Each structure stands twice: as structure tokens, then as C-alpha cells.
Amino acid sequence: MSKPIIEVQQLEFAWESGQTPVLSIASFKVFEQERVFIKGPSGCGKSTLLSLLGGVMLPQSGEIRILDQSLIGLSRGGRDHFRADHIGFVFQMFNLIPYLSVMDNVTLPCRFSERRRQRAADQSTVENEALRLLDHLDLNDNTIKAKAVTDLSVGQQQRVAVARALIGSPEIVIADEPTSALDTDLRDAFIRLLMADCNAHGTTLLFVSHDGGLSPHFDRVIDFGHINCPTH
């Protein structure tokens, strides 16, 4: 089997010191180029785990290694830089910048990460790579690309968020309930497009949702309740 690209050991996290941990995960691994689906009800701590994997927060104890780099020993700035270089996020509410155009939203990660800017430019230019991603995600109407994202439909905004996550070929894409605002037809089309682009780039995908109906699309399905065992 390929090496772990995400590895968690003996993780404990509580929102306040002295409180009962909301996360207690003995061991959790994701392997290179895997497509992993974590299912669980809303409010069970899935998004908190993703924030820890992205280095947005740190646990009270335990180890988190991403691409064989321990996040625990990095400064906040170091974690921010590491995340910008190596992880693309797709959020439940998209987190697009409303006053920027579609193109400016897609290319935004390349402003914060020289590594991703260079990877995108290796394909041609950053702008051409953004256009390629948008075309692949069926946003190939030239009028759309100059629009503000607030002028797009929910389904179009979701695909812009995916293009932004994938630009510059990050090794990992983390998706947090990204289909919750989509109807069934848009949901299934979105998953197919996301999988196709991750396959094309050799990207590892960690996808969390309460919607168990999505699980057949993935290599491995993890019930969050089976890995998170906080004591009460």
C-alpha cells in the first residue's frame, strides 16, 4: 500500500482546557491518492477534525502529520504557509470572495502560495490553468468568467470553489459538506466532476458529509463514530 499522506495518532481536542474532549481519535490514516469519505451526523465533530488537519487549530495532545510533516511543531504562520502550499479546501458555504470575479477567486491560492503559482504556471500560465479547470467543470461560458461570484447559481459557485481548491495541484483536497446546498442531480454531477479532476491530478481527497448516499463514489468509507471515541 502507498504511504500515509495524512496520519493522526492519539489526538485529543477540547474547546476549552479542562473540558471533556469532543475529539478523541486513537489512529486515523489516509493514503496517497485515496478518495476517502467520512460520514456522520451534523455536529459530531467532522468539521473540527478538518480544521485540525488543515492546521487552523491545534489539539491538546497527539500527533498530526501531513505529507510526513508534523503540524504540531509548526508556528501558526508556518501552518498557514504549509496549508496554502499543499491543501485545497472546498467549504460547505463555498467561502468565495463576493467582490472578486470568478477568475480572481479561482486564482486566489496562487497569490498566497508561490509553490502553487509555479505549479499552475508550469501548465502554461496561472490564468490559462484557471480557464482549463473552469472548462473542465463545465463553466466554459466566457461571460461567466468575468462575473462576480454573487451573480452565479449555487451549482456554479460550487464548481468555482472546486476550481479554486484544485489550482496549482495541491497534494490534498479537503471537502467539508460541499454538496449540502445542491439538489440530487447537481450533487451527483458535482461528485463526478470532482472525482475526475482529482484523478487527473493524482490528488488525495478527504470528503466529509452527513449524506451517506454519496459513499459509493469513494475508495473507502469511514463512519466518524468508529474513529472518534470521546469519553463522557
CATH number of the CATH domain containing 98: 3.40.50.300
Q: Domain range spanning residue 144?
A: 34-56+75-223
Residue 157 near residue 150, CB atoms below 8 Å: no
Q: Alpha helix (H) ranges present in 59-101?
A: 76-86
Q: Is 156 a domain residue? A: yes
Residue 1 has pLDDT above 60, yes or no: no
Residue 29 lies inside a defined structural domain of this protein: no
CB atoms within 10 A of CB 65: 16
pTM: 0.89
Check whether 219 has a pLDDT greater than 90.
Answer: yes
The whole-angstrom separation of Cα 17 and Cα 176 is 26
In a domain, 6, yes or no: no
At 101-117, the pLDDT tens digits run 999 999 999 999 999 99
Sign of CA dihedral 172, 178, 184, 187: negative
Residue 62: inside a domain: no
Grid cell of 95 as nine digits: 467561502
Q: Which of 28-42, 128-142, 182-196 has the highest mean pLDDT?
A: 28-42
Q: Burial of 210 by CB count in 10 Å (0-12 exposed, 13-18 middle, 19+ buried)?
A: middle
Residue 4 lies in a domain: no
> Greater confidence, 139 or 4?
4
Residue 10: inside a domain: no
Residues 34-81: tens digit of each pLDDT: 999 999 887 788 889 999 999 999 999 999 999 999 999 899 999 999
Lowest mean pLDDT among 7-11, 116-120, 122-126, 214-218: 122-126
